[in-house]
Amino acid sequence: MNKFIPAVIVALAAGSAMAFPTNFTPGWKSAEATGNPADQIRSPTVAAALGRKVDASNGQLLAPTISGGTINGVLQVGDQATLAALSSWVIASSTTAHRAGYYAAGDGGQANYTLSSSPCTLNGGAGDNGSQIPAPINRCWIASFPNNEASAKIWGAKFNSTDDSVPLQAAINWAVANSGSLVLPCGYGYFSTPLKAGNGTNWTMRGADNATCSTLVYSGPSTTVDLLTIGGVGTSGDSYGVTITGFRLDSNTQMTAGDGLHLWHLKQSRIDPTMSGQSGNGKFWNGVHYDEVDIVRTPNAYIYGAANDNVLVNGSKPSESWYPNYVGEVRLGQGKIAPSDPQLNRGGGGQYSQTGIHVAGSVGGLSVDAVDIIANHHNVLVDNSQTSVQNQTVLLGPATFTDSSIDDNIVLNDTGSVAVNGFGGTKRFFDYGWNACGGCASGSGNGVTVQNFTNGAVVLAGYAIQGHQGHGVYDMDPSAVITIASSEIFGNNAKENIASSAPGMQIASHNPVMLNGTAYDVNTLSSTLPLYGGPFSFAPELRFGGNATGISYRTQGGQYTLDGMTVNVDFNIALSDVGSATGSATIANLPMGQNSITAQGGGGSVNYATGLSGLSGAVTLSMDNGGNGLAGLYQWSATGLSAVTNTNFTSSAVIRGRMSFLRKHKKAP
């Protein structure tokens, strides 16, 4: 029997400790070899050990810790604990090992290892339980991963809703340090401490099935931290060629500060995990923070669930030594940026995201296309609140929808007057998309509000600006130049389609389509830039001596067209009562603005008149340069022009006419 004892010991040596008699000779040898009775192991002892390891019905090992000795010289180990506990004499003849699992064979934590001749380099020689595992006599098992790709299960992540913080961080550290590809398995990987990836190059973290089955869920106590950070925040280093994709990031903790995903000094990278999701928890403070990044693509921008900014973008600050590098070049592709459904329904009153996309200073270029930005308080906000430096270019592409905001849909409030050093040029905002339903949930909101856009240019050349509870476009900044293209369709806006807070703004429109509503308010019609379009409707008023006492109408209609700096007017007035006012007749409420800088003179004629009496000749219309908003009616006589008065009108009078006048001289370029 003693001849078979060595084989049994090889199979059991790394398992649970066994109470053998003390050998007289150091290093075990059989009694047959030594002649020492103490070296004999009795059959009951062997049988008891085998009973714990072998199924008596078929001879198979139970929960093997060494799966079968060696195969082709490779030591076969069942789990992590066993590999870590191997003694020096077991590994003396094997420098390679296959671990069949982390907790048990077949659990997804399998890996191949090679025994090094030096200690582990990670964590002071303690290794990381995945890529490095300590071995006896100051040696280390070093993992080798095919195609440099490894599952987080190799470090012990379970993805079964238990806390995976430690193995997830270890796995991320490996990927960053080795330009590796980390695969997150299907399931829910909970983490209670924030996850951080330092600066690294060409590394990847991806889900196992393109965001359909892998989810990271923060479950920690802190409500003010960044949950997943990529890059060494606050340092001058870079990360290049990073890919973060194919999984979902969410939080069970309601955050009151911090970012769900914080990206720092990232260059030429792809970042597009699903943030919370349409049906996610919706408990982020900020969603994705593109913090001083440069050329970062998010081709699948499914970003939900932030109480503050779903997307926050900013470049570097003048106080930083690396300024003006890192100018926030970001490209957002197809997707949706919105509150999550539970977020909208929480507490019955809803907790909408404050901002869909917040461009917050020093941004060289943000482009968005094929993205629905919906149901945020402001769907897009452009300011310089993070850096004090102006932004350069923001572009919403033709397949972008900004819709159903709580307040103003798009707000431009960039007060910066200095461009990023080395990246000169006027700040610009382009909207080539669909802009609808500003203030839908609150009853008050504009499509585009230009609050402050100091010396900037705004181009609106999309499909529609419609259905807003306020104005379509509202300009409050006389230094900004706003251009509205003929492609825009205005309709169903509660207030004027295009309006300004004061006269003399710089708004140029190129024949946009006005389906209904008032096209321009009086301030916009005093714009210093050309306006084109029409015909638009207005209601002309007949007055005598500047008064309209008792005057009523059967017909009171008018249309006007804008031809650059010229206004062309047609009107049709039919009285039902001439009223009691006296004095010279004028046509009032002309579409030119009611201030002293608006009208620059013009005239026309009455081409049809009936129900008038005492006229000596044709009736003409004249407007002086005073900008009083009135066109006087005059008749030709043998002695020249004389005013038409109330005495020439009856209650059945009808007059129709046409006139043109200049709004204001074009501003010099």
Sorted by where each begins, the domain ranges of the chain are 2-144, 538-662
Q: Residue 621 and residue 631: Cα distance in Å, rounded?
A: 6
pLDDT of residue 465: 97
pLDDT-based confidence at residue 24 (cuts at 50, 70, 90): very low
In the predicted structure, residue 3 carries a pLDDT above the cut 60? no
Task: Find, among 329, 322, 324, the residue nearest to 366 by Cα.
Answer: 329
pLDDT-based confidence at residue 46 (cuts at 50, 70, 90): low
Q: What interhelical angle do 43-53 and 5-12 show, nearest 10?
A: 40
Which range among 61-70, 164-173, 448-457, 630-639 shows the weakest confidence by mean pLDDT? Answer: 61-70
Q: Residue 151 and residue 180: Cα distance in Å, rounded?
A: 11
In the predicted structure, residue 331 carries a pLDDT above the cut 80? yes
Under 8 Å between Cβ of 107 and 153: yes
pLDDT-based confidence at residue 294 (cuts at 50, 70, 90): very high
- Looking at this protein, which amino acid is placed at residue 216? L
Query: Which has the higher per-residue pLDDT, 624 or 428?
Result: 428
Neighbours of 492 (CB within 10 A): 15
Beta bridge partners of 531: 509, 564
Which range among 66-80, 359-373, 486-500, 548-562 shows the weakest confidence by mean pLDDT? Answer: 66-80
Sign of the alpha-carbon dihedral angle for 499, 464, 438, 314: negative
Under 8 Å between Cβ of 507 and 498: yes
Q: Residue 7 and residue 18: Cα distance in Å, rounded?
A: 15
- Give me the percent of the chain exceeding a pLDDT of 70: 85
pLDDT of residue 536: 87
pLDDT-based confidence at residue 188 (cuts at 50, 70, 90): very high
In the predicted structure, residue 348 carries a pLDDT above the cut 60? no
* pLDDT, tens digit, 9 for 90 and up, residues 85-103: 998 888 888 899 999 999 9
Q: Which residue has the tokens 């006599």?
A: 137
pLDDT of residue 467: 96
Instruction: Report CA Rg, the chain.
Output: 39
- Average pLDDT, integer, range 33-58: 62
pLDDT of residue 648: 96
pLDDT of residue 71: 85
pLDDT of residue 565: 86
pLDDT of residue 25: 40
pLDDT-based confidence at residue 130 (cuts at 50, 70, 90): very high
Cα first-last separation, the chain? 107
* Polymer length in residues for the chain: 669
Tokens matching residue 336? 């949706």
Which range among 116-125, 293-302, 412-421, 567-576 shows the weakest confidence by mean pLDDT? Answer: 412-421
The distance from CA 284 to its chain's CA centroid, rounded to whole angstroms, is 13
In terms of phi and psi (left: phi > 0; alpha: psi -120 to 50; beta: otherwise), the region of 123 is left
